[in-house]
Homo-oligomer: A and B are copies of this chain.
């Protein structure tokens, strides 16, 4: 299949940005985008990150999976404050119907590549006795020395999030919107000290960002934006909408920290997605809720996508009250 499919793909890629040497040689060649390179790789697998039997076949089921495989990588680039440049795509295809699956998946890949003007620099295709797996490597760039790391938060920083949380499994998780536009807008407004994207759960990823910074946060738990999908999920589960927002994951929104003095400028940004302040970075590690009378420790929760025994709900710490 590979040779003829690659010929088809080269044709479909003509309207996208091009690299100097692309699909069809031993490797891709291009002048690096200016600044530091930002490179990430993330894969999604049928049965682990999505379930093909639950996809709507009359709809764009496999195209959405292709879209997601790129979007989650662009979300990682957004979390570094990077601008995307190109992707490489590796498909592992079940032997049955491999060509149709590859074509359907690429519909979504081409859609998001066009949307964000990515070059498809290369890739690999195999057929095997296994489930559909898509591994994407994304290449982007930031001005030299300016990548947003998890570990750069400072005490007193304001903590913001994009969008709203919870219930993405109802379908939103297949069409995440990488917050590259927010990243680009933030770059013009003020330095971002630390950032992370929410793949495993708002509280779990927030906790990771703060742990990398060796700091903690006091949160305004009532300010956390709850997605309507979380309300829907709550009506069918034993957990509240807030709990879904706190821990569901696969929201692919950004969490970021900026100096308190810049908080108003960030809050005043007029973007397609709401930006909400949810708390403040504090010296004491962990996540905390301050009320009138006391400070209560909050338990980060979420899903670890790639644990040895498959996805599992995790609680990093048990909740404890502190006066």
Listed in ascending order, the chain A residues whose CB lies under 8 Å from chain B are 1-3, 20-21, 24-32, 36-43, 45, 47-49, 76-77, 79-80, 82, 88, 90, 92, 95, 98-99, 121-131, 133, 135, 137-140, 142, 144, 147, 149-151, 195-197, 212, 304-310
27 A-B pairs within 8 Å (CB atoms) are namely A2-B304, A2-B305, A2-B307, A24-B150, A25-B151, A26-B40, A26-B80, A26-B196, A27-B40, A27-B76, A29-B37, A29-B80, A29-B142, A30-B37, A39-B137, A41-B135, A42-B124, A43-B124, A45-B92, A90-B90, A98-B308, A124-B306, A126-B133, A126-B306, A127-B306, A127-B307, A133-B133
Instruction: Enumerate the 7 nearest inter-chain pairs by beta-carbon distance, A residue then B residue, closest first.
Output: A130-B130, A1-B308, A27-B40, A32-B32, A26-B79, A29-B147, A26-B76
Q: B residues within 8 A CB of A147?
A: 20-21, 27, 29
Q: How far is the CA of A144 from the CA of B29 in the complex (A)?
A: 10
* A135 / chain B contacts, CB cutoff of 8 Å: 41, 43, 90, 124, 135
Shortest beta-carbon distance, A189 to chain B, in Å? 21
Pair B48/A128 contact, Cβ less than 8 Å: yes
| Distance (whole angstroms) from the CB of A249 to the closest CB of chain B | 14
- How many chain copies does the complex carry? 2
Residues of B within 8 A of A149 (CB): 21, 25
A45 touches B128 (CB 8 A): yes
A40: nearest chain-B partner, CB-CB: B27
Residue numbers in B under 8 Å from A32 (CB-CB)? 32, 36-37
The residues of B that contact A308 with a CB separation of less than 8 Å are 1, 95, 98-99, 127
Q: Shortest Cβ distance from A158 into chain B, in angstroms?
A: 20
Cβ B31 vs Cβ A37 within 8 A: yes
Q: What residues of chain B lie closer than 8 Å to A25, measured between beta carbons?
A: 80, 149-151, 212
Complex-state Cα separation, A49 to B90, whole angstroms:
15
Q: What residues of chain B lie closer than 8 Å to A79, measured between beta carbons?
A: 26-27
CB distance A39 to B307 under 8 Å? no
Q: How far is the CB of A136 from chain B (nearest CB, A)?
A: 9
A30 touches B36 (CB 8 A): yes
> Which B residues are CB-close (under 8 A) to A77?
26-27
Q: Given A129-B131, A131-B130, A133-B133 in contact, is the A27-B45 Cβ separation under 8 Å?
A: no
A3→B82 contact, CB < 8 A: no
The answer to whether A41 and B133 touch across the interface, beta carbons within 8 angstroms, is no
